[in-house]
């Protein structure tokens, strides 16, 4: 069975500091991993994904994520947080192709403190 | 492109009433999805469609129905609304299947059943 864990409900970080939002996954085959961000009263927006290739994936708004197969993790990172990064972040995993194959974590609320 | 649009934005229903949530996309995507998002939970897939005339159940289909008569539209029907259906509903679409392709989300419909 596929599952995603986001162990932190809330992450607080000072503006200008690096941020990390954690994600671990469990999947039966090769994982395909996604990060989405949700701003208040908005739908989810795609940030980045890992399908294959380089373990370090760069995405929108200066975010990046590192795929670590041995630790089954896909943590989201940014070198310098902005107040505008404050939002709800979702990690999602898929074991492969298929329209009903994307499973979401419960989300992590990131607050960047000015 | 407007992307994925949903109507209405908000709705309050009484127990036993019915309604249809509308979803339209103008990106010529083959795949469309309906999710619900409950507080503190990740998104759960209700129904999905891989093309006009083809729909299938997701993880939580009970109490809902869908149809896909055109590529653009994917309405979600609630029959006999129950308090357990109080949630935020998101429609999404992707060009290919969700296993590897990016999903694009609408702004959501906040439904309250009293």
Per-residue tens of pLDDT for chain B, all 114 residues: 789 999 999 999 999 999 999 999 999 999 999 999 998 788 999 999 999 999 999 999 999 999 999 999 999 999 899 999 999 999 999 998 767 788 999 999 999 999
Residue-range domains of chain A with CATH: 3-97+104-113 (2.60.40.10)
Q: Which class is B4-95 in CATH?
A: mainly beta
Cβ contacts of A101 on chain B, cutoff 8 Å = 97-99
Quick check: helix, strand or coil at residue A16?
coil
A98 touches chain B (CB under 8 A): yes
Cβ–Cβ of A101/B98 closer than 8 Å? yes
Taking only the tens place, the pLDDT of each residue in A57-113 is 999 999 999 999 999 999 999 999 999 999 999 999 987 767 667 889 999 999 999
CA distance B68 to chain A (A): 15
Q: What angle do CA A13, A16, A21 make, to 5 degrees?
A: 40
Tokens at A12, concatenated: 């607080």
Cβ of A43 within 8 Å of Cβ of B97? The answer is: no
CA of A56 vs chain B CAs: smallest distance (Å)? 17
Cβ–Cβ < 8 Å for B41, B58 = no
pLDDT tier for residue A30 given thresholds of 50, 70 and 90: confident
Q: Is A105 on the interface with B (CB under 8 A)?
A: yes
CA separation for the pair A17, A76 (Å, rounded)? 14
With CA atoms as reference, the chain A residue closest to B106 would be A43
Is B33 near chain A, with CB under 8 Å?
yes
Q: What's the pLDDT score for residue A99?
A: 66
pLDDT at A85: 96
Q: What residues does each domain of chain B span?
A: 4-95
Span A11-38, average pLDDT: 94
Instruction: Report how far residue B89's alpha carbon sits from residue B64's, in angstroms, rounded to the nearest whole number.
Output: 12
């Amino acid at each position: 069975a596929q599952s995603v864990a986001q162990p932190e409900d809330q992450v607080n970080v000072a503006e200008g500091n690096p941020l990390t939002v954690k994600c671990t996954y469990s999947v039966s085959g090769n994982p395909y991993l996604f990060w989405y961000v949700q701003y208040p009263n908005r739908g989810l927006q795609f940030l980045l994904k890992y399908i294959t290739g380089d373990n370090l994936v760069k995405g929108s708004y200066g975010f990046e994520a590192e795929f670590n197969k041995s630790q089954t993790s896909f943590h989201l990172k940014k070198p310098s947080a902005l107040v505008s990064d404050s939002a709800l972040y979702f990690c999602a995993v898929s074991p492969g192709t298929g329209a009903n194959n994307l499973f979401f974590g419960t989300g992590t609320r990131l607050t960047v403190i000015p | 492109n407007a992307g994925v649009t949903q109507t209405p934005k908000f709705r309050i229903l009484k127990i036993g009433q019915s309604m249809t949530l509308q979803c339209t996309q103008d990106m010529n995507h083959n795949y469309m999805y309906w999710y619900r998002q409950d507080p503190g939970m990740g998104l759960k897939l209700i129904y999905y469609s891989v093309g006009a005339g083809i729909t299938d159940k997701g993880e939580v289909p009970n109490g809902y129905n869908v149809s896909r008569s055109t590529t653009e539209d994917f309405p979600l029907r609630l029959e006999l609304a129950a308090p357990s259906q109080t949630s935020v509903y998101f429609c999404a679409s992707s060009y290919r299947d969700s296993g590897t392709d990016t999903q694009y989300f609408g702004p959501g419909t906040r439904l309250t059943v009293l």
